[in-house]
Structure 1
């Protein structure tokens, strides 16, 4: 049934059509009409007022990653809209479906440097999958519907819809519609490529599987697990592929790349077939492109043909939705057996265990304790740096959408907003943000968002009083010249969190941390734990920039090298 609605009412009706239940944002003059309608319909759509628009975009991103739905954020014109850019770029790099709705000055004021006017369509063009400016009320509903369809279809990504203020007030006829059905990309799957892949798999003696974020985005975890068992191969993953394959499974060997396990890095280097599924071969994964998996043929399964032969030359590619491709392969592949190869990998895992200093509080120790206390069931978000790598290495993820982190853009300040979004989307899960003290400074004002909206996230600050990952590079490659990476200042994170209404404790031992973390979970309130660790703790193993992944080294290797050089 058609009805006459104004633009703001149409925005809300379209969001309800798409099943949106939560929006993250910050109001302002140009978007006031929409916020007025949000007020009227607060029983239908819950709005979370963040402390900064960047926090809203990260919260929408975290909501999307944790739930598989489209995350939605809102901001006003000018600086409100530009404050979304980092969050949109973060979502774009990791292919996360987000719809950002901004408002702009009226059509008659566009292009006149009006107050808080910005060409946000032009600004965000490089960091969105698509974007729009709506200057005609008749096009508003179709544009919003199309934005949601684009965000979810094919290779997912963020879409921005900018609406002029006069459109938010204008009226037109509106008729409700069912959301468009999103079909997986199957028409690009070629029989020739499938046959080639099957032949390569059946000929392989030492196959290896590499899983990326595309496996999560296509909800292909079940198909991945069946595929791995059928081809009888070891499995590694990228930062974005965590949880697609169970972290406790014997076939799993950990992350690949710069801070990947020695087993994964050496194993892939010795394999004769690498099957890369839903991964774009980031430079942090392959290290030196000329030596990466040099003994192996490579099969790449990806939805985006632009990612094929972009960074790593491959032997065959199957283009299409990962879930659809694996369903075909699982149906047509016969059971493979690689007992000797699998035993070799198990021996390698025993030879190269992940180790850390257990005599003091450390990042790896904190992560292992969180894994133990949450029984492996928490949603973990992170900022970016050493703590991020430790969270990837030492928490054993058993399911997809459990580890939320900024992979491609590496956005410091991402995690707290993402944790808020994840908790809103999955209120029954414990949500923990792992942060470094440097990252916490970036968007620590979102603690106030958590307390204001009573969102019980746990903020674990791995506090080494330095910019840890940058300092690690300075220590190893820059002659220990610690330029602008020391953070010994007078900021008291416990007092700061308490001032914003959260509970907080400082801990310096693993026993203190265990007691405080249990209290944080039981409190069901926003809670910050300031965890003091050594400034020189490092992430091991490591591959030197531009080095071959097979040359991954750890602390023990570094000490041996120093001893040999001193002789």
Structure 2
């Protein structure tokens, strides 16, 4: 993959003064600096920029992210989002005072930013330059340590970083300027907050002396972003910069992952650090808890947690009609999806997933109920309404899942009153528990860790009558649609997804799908059989139209060896279609599959059903998407009928570079089944006038 150029100031070690012979790097084949342990006999490691390396080669990787980060403020990175840094730095000399770090002395704020990205193992950065952030862009000019992807819009950078984070399992990093550059990433920040994606945004800011003066491109981005970030901060002193960057990575990746923002005034990034900064070990704890009290508190909490899991196991073993409801938290936990499958097999419990949980459970498994909710399967919704025990794993009971709250899971609520079932909520974020649906048992913490502890306690149960009932629902209420009247002229949107699913059936482990937001998103969820974790990347909580194109580009950057396809609608695609130029410029082979019905399809569907077909401002007059793709340097294709579809999909999948396939589809199709807003899950509108008559 071709990316933007590399840095004018690369680093090499001064190992010769220590009498140590350099070793050859297994990554680059060039002489690499020896380990820090050989250069510094002391336990504390420090890094320092020195002479430029020869031939612009990348030096060997350091021994670990943790050891490097410790020197810069004690960064801690969860294992699920770990990454190895790309470089190793050697200090000019060992610091005389162990309480102070001199490794950044003499660096500009921009150079400190560059150094901290290396120490945190950042390999890709997405962003757009501007005046207030130029000291940082100058410091990373020609950097040989990470690749920079330049989008056509800062919102594209944010969604690319989201796609990258979800595909690569690392935090996405965004670098933008002040004012409109920063405000343009507000939507990605909220999107990442809604869906639990680790996103780290660094924004430029006017010089500290000009803050509050309505200077050119000044915006209070800390105030603006407060509600859509886990944490944000303005760095007002260059000495704070390493610590604040460490905090950003720690907060973005800990607990429930999410977005953070670090605001960087121009005088901070352009200034030079001229003094040592305190090491974290020099900070004294305030009023430490006596050791005996601490041990007692930990022991008591552990016992309470064990008692809670034992209660959950008793409910599982005694339930007649249990259901597992798995959300994105299962995929965020390192081994969550594996433990989910093991748990479902051991306890013999059917599994339904949220939109963001798709792929967490193999949908070809007979225990799979597919997606539930507003546009979920009838059998998943009926199972949820009939279950005497609901095990919610890393899911937050979104309104698109529950429907009418008063009528949600009535059988489980009755079972709870009788002491034989109820709703059990596993979640890493305590505030999500009891927020919308009251849990009879709450299990806080990482879903995977809790499932691992619960596994030995549960027993296999046959549950023959329960599965017989579920299989009958599956046979009676499948996902269905009317076939094309004339295959030589017509094309249904569902047929496109079905054909894509057929041709990818042996390659799904190596394929990632992204989507925009609208009808196409729901058809992808319904008609593509999801089998593998982290293969579905979509905007769930916020529902951001335009998400799909940049997310696919970011996902391809994060997983270059996988096929990445964005399934989009014409309206959603139009919002970020120019990011195809980013694909072309950097050789990022993301594929765009556009279902074009010349409408804002989902809004039109609601107008058809609830507003007497008054299509107020939903028809679209689209450009020629094939010509648009070709103008950006991307191959454009079009298919208009069912007969030509198999060949078109095959050619689309076979194209090695970036490609866009436009499918002209029937505009009258609705996404069904559908539980209308305010209705219960069992009150769904079905295809072909079918009614639910056995609940």
TM over 0.5: yes
What's the counterpart of residue 191 of structure 1?
306
Alignment of 1:413-428 (within 5 A): 413-428=546-561
Q: Are 2:133 and 2:178, in contact at CA under 8 Å, matched by a contact in 1? A: yes
> 1:16 Cα deviation (Å)?
1.4
> 1:290 Cα deviation (Å)?
0.6
What's the counterpart of residue 403 of structure 1?
536
- Residue 524 (structure 1) aligned with residue 625 (structure 2): no
Q: Which has the higher contact order (CA 8 A, sep 6+)?
A: 1
Q: Are 1:265 and 1:552, in contact at CA under 8 Å, matched by a contact in 2? A: no
Structure 2 regions of 5+ residues with no counterpart? 1-90, 92-102, 281-297, 413-421, 485-489
- Residue 348 (structure 1) aligned with residue 491 (structure 2): no
What's the counterpart of residue 533 of structure 1?
665
How far apart, CA to CA, are the structure 1 residues paired with 2:269 and 2:177?
12
What's the counterpart of residue 319 of structure 1?
444
**Out of 130, 134, 145, which is 2:231 matched to?**
130
In structure 2, the CA distance between the partners of 1:37 and 1:518, relative to structure 1 (3 Å rule), is farther
> 1:216 Cα deviation (Å)?
0.7
How far apart, CA to CA, are the structure 1 residues paired with 2:168 and 2:279?
23
- Residue 40 (structure 1) aligned with residue 172 (structure 2): no
SS at the partner of 1:510? Answer: coil
Structure 1 regions of 5+ residues with no counterpart? 179-184, 562-567
> 1:268 Cα deviation (Å)?
1.1
Q: Are 1:213 and 1:279, in contact at CA under 8 Å, matched by a contact in 2? A: yes
What's the counterpart of residue 121 of structure 2?
19
How far apart, CA to CA, are the structure 2 residues paired with 1:560 and 1:251?
22
What's the counterpart of residue 14 of structure 2?
none
How far apart, CA to CA, are the structure 2 residues paired with 1:131 and 1:162?
8
Q: Are 2:327 and 2:356, in contact at CA under 8 Å, matched by a contact in 1? A: yes
SS at the partner of 2:525? Answer: helix
Q: Are 1:276 and 1:299, in contact at CA under 8 Å, matched by a contact in 2? A: yes
Q: Are 2:499 and 2:649, in contact at CA under 8 Å, matched by a contact in 1? A: no
What's the counterpart of residue 377 of structure 2?
261
Alignment of 1:349-364 (within 5 A): 349-359=474-484, 360-364=490-494
> 1:293 Cα deviation (Å)?
0.7
TM-superposition CA deviations, 1:440-464 (whole Å, max 9, x none)? 1111111111111111111111001
How far apart, CA to CA, are the structure 1 residues paired with 2:173 and 2:533?
21
> 1:495 Cα deviation (Å)?
1.0
How far apart, CA to CA, are the structure 2 residues paired with 1:475 and 1:292?
27
> 1:490 Cα deviation (Å)?
5.2
How far apart, CA to CA, are the structure 2 residues paired with 1:285 and 1:536?
25
**Out of 317, 326, 331, which is 2:456 matched to?**
331
> 1:30 Cα deviation (Å)?
0.8
- Residue 273 (structure 1) aligned with residue 389 (structure 2): yes
> 1:558 Cα deviation (Å)?
6.0
What's the counterpart of residue 181 of structure 1?
none
> 1:513 Cα deviation (Å)?
3.2
SS at the partner of 2:141? Answer: helix
TM-superposition CA deviations, 1:467-494 (whole Å, max 9, x none)? 111111111111111111111x251111
How far apart, CA to CA, are the structure 1 residues paired with 2:545 and 2:644?
27
How far apart, CA to CA, are the structure 2 residues paired with 1:313 and 1:478?
34
**Out of 671, 674, 677, which is 1:545 matched to?**
677
How far apart, CA to CA, are the structure 2 residues paired with 1:555 and 1:355?
7
What's the counterpart of residue 393 of structure 1?
526
What's the counterpart of residue 182 of structure 1?
none
**Out of 410, 423, 429, which is 1:294 matched to?**
410
SS at the partner of 1:193? Answer: helix
What's the counterpart of residue 627 of structure 2?
495
* Range with greater deviation from structure 2 (114-123 or 523-532): 523-532
- Which is higher, the Rg of structure 1 or of structure 2? 2
How far apart, CA to CA, are the structure 1 residues paired with 2:112 and 2:551?
28
> 1:225 Cα deviation (Å)?
0.6
Q: Are 1:17 and 1:177, in contact at CA under 8 Å, matched by a contact in 2? A: no
- Residue 76 (structure 1) aligned with residue 76 (structure 2): no
SS at the partner of 2:140? Answer: helix
How far apart, CA to CA, are the structure 2 residues paired with 1:177 and 1:492?
59
- Residue 449 (structure 1) aligned with residue 582 (structure 2): yes
> 1:334 Cα deviation (Å)?
2.4
TM-superposition CA deviations, 1:292-338 (whole Å, max 9, x none)? 11101111111111111111122111011101110111122222331
**Out of 323, 332, 336, which is 1:208 matched to?**
323
**Out of 348, 357, 366, which is 1:250 matched to?**
366
How far apart, CA to CA, are the structure 2 residues paired with 1:103 and 1:560?
56
How far apart, CA to CA, are the structure 2 residues paired with 1:453 and 1:158?
26
> 1:559 Cα deviation (Å)?
9.0
SS at the partner of 2:308? Answer: helix
TM-superposition CA deviations, 1:173-199 (whole Å, max 9, x none)? 689999xxxxxx997872232122112
How far apart, CA to CA, are the structure 2 residues paired with 1:490 and 1:284?
30
Q: Are 1:38 and 1:47, in contact at CA under 8 Å, matched by a contact in 2? A: no
In structure 2, the CA distance between the partners of 1:218 and 1:490, relative to structure 1 (3 Å rule), is closer
Q: Are 1:435 and 1:461, in contact at CA under 8 Å, matched by a contact in 2? A: yes
What's the counterpart of residue 647 of structure 2?
515
> 1:519 Cα deviation (Å)?
2.3
- Residue 374 (structure 1) aligned with residue 476 (structure 2): no
How far apart, CA to CA, are the structure 1 residues paired with 2:493 and 2:160?
25
> 1:40 Cα deviation (Å)?
3.1
Q: Are 1:233 and 1:342, in contact at CA under 8 Å, matched by a contact in 2? A: no
* Range with greater deviation from structure 2 (471-480 or 187-196): 187-196
TM-superposition CA deviations, 1:517-545 (whole Å, max 9, x none)? 32233222111111101111111110111
* Range with greater deviation from structure 2 (336-345 or 120-129): 336-345
> 1:560 Cα deviation (Å)?
11
Q: CA RMSD in A?
A: 2.0
In structure 2, the CA distance between the partners of 1:73 and 1:514, relative to structure 1 (3 Å rule), is farther
SS at the partner of 1:445? Answer: helix
> 1:11 Cα deviation (Å)?
0.8
